[in-house]
């Protein structure tokens, strides 16, 4: 369903595109390639790049994260093809520091602590949020297949429960799919 029509006339000035693609590798690991692009609808001067023409990205940055089924990062590669300053690409090697981190609850805070501010790039840090959720979705099919086989025998509450409205431990999805973790009134 589209958004409702705008209530006032407006002019497009900026478009941010975030694209993430998840892959299963032949060696048993997984990868997500994420890309962020910012484009203005007008030309403007830039001291490091000269004139940035309409349609040329102001930001064009990517990250590839390689991880395992436990969501542990094995490799990280960052690139900056377009940036407002010549020095921006200098920070990309820092993102190798993601290796060893797990994309589990607390990941966003850890990333901001480690790569926030002058220690990283705000755009690449922002991109890690969609990359992490794409990573989860990429392996979800295999994880859910294993979960479905042994759903009734699961004794430890899966981390998915209570992460959103649908997976509310008091709601109908948990009651139907994992009744041993349902905490709401019986219907």
What is the reported pLDDT for 141?
76
Of 5-9, 58-62, 114-118, 171-175, which range is least confident? 171-175
pLDDT at 177: 83
Q: Which residue has the tokens 């060696």?
A: 27
pLDDT at 63: 98
Q: What is the mean pLDDT of the chain?
A: 92
Q: Using 50, 70 and 90 to split pLDDT, how confident is the model at 31?
A: very high
Supply φ then ψ for residue 186, to 5 degrees.
-65, 135
Please tell me the predicted confidence (pLDDT) of residue 160.
Answer: 78
Segment 106-113 shows an average pLDDT of: 95
pLDDT at 157 over 90: no
Residue 3: the pLDDT is 94
Contact indicator for 135, 106 with CB cutoff of 8 Å: no
- Whether pLDDT at 143 is above 70: no
Strand 57-67 with 50-52, pairing:
unpaired
Q: Is the pTM of this model over 0.75?
A: yes
pLDDT score of 40 more than 60: yes
Long-range contacts of 44-49 (CB under 8 A, 24+ apart): 46/84, 48/84, 48/85, 48/86, 49/84
pLDDT above 90 (res 37): yes
Render pLDDT for 121-142 as a digit per residue (tens, 0 to 9): 999 999 999 999 999 999 987 7
User: What is the per-residue pLDDT for 22?
Assistant: 98
Q: Where is pLDDT greater, at 68 or 166?
A: 68
- For residue 149, pLDDT beyond 80: no
CA 173 to centroid of chain Cα atoms: 25
Residue 66 sits at the vertex; the CA angle it makes with 38 and 86, to the nearest 5 degrees, is: 35
pLDDT attached to residue 95: 98
Q: What is the pLDDT at residue 146?
A: 61
Give me the mean pLDDT over the 59-70 stretch: 97
């Amino acid at each position: 369903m589209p958004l409702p029509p705008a209530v006032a006339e407006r002019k497009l000035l900026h478009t941010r595109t975030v694209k993430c693609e998840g892959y299963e590798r032949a060696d048993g690991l997984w990868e997500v390639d994420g890309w962020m692009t910012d484009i203005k609808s007008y030309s403007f001067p830039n001291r490091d790049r000269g004139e940035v023409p309409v349609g040329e990205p102001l930001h064009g940055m990517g990250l590839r994260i390689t991880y395992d089924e436990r969501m542990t990062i094995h490799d990280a590669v960052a690139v900056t093809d377009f940036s407002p300053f010549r020095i921006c690409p200098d920070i990309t090697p820092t993102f190798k520091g993601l290796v060893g981190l797990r994309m589990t609850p607390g990941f966003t805070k850890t990333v901001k602590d480690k790569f926030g501010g002058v220690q990283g790039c705000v755009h690449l840090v922002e991109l890690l949020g969609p990359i992490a959720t794409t990573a989860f979705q990429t392996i979800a099919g295999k994880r859910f297949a294993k979960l479905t086989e042994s759903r009734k025998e699961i004794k430890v509450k899966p981390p998915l429960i209570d992460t959103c409205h649908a997976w509310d431990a008091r709601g109908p999805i948990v009651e139907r799919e994992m009744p041993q973790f349902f905490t709401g009134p019986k219907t």
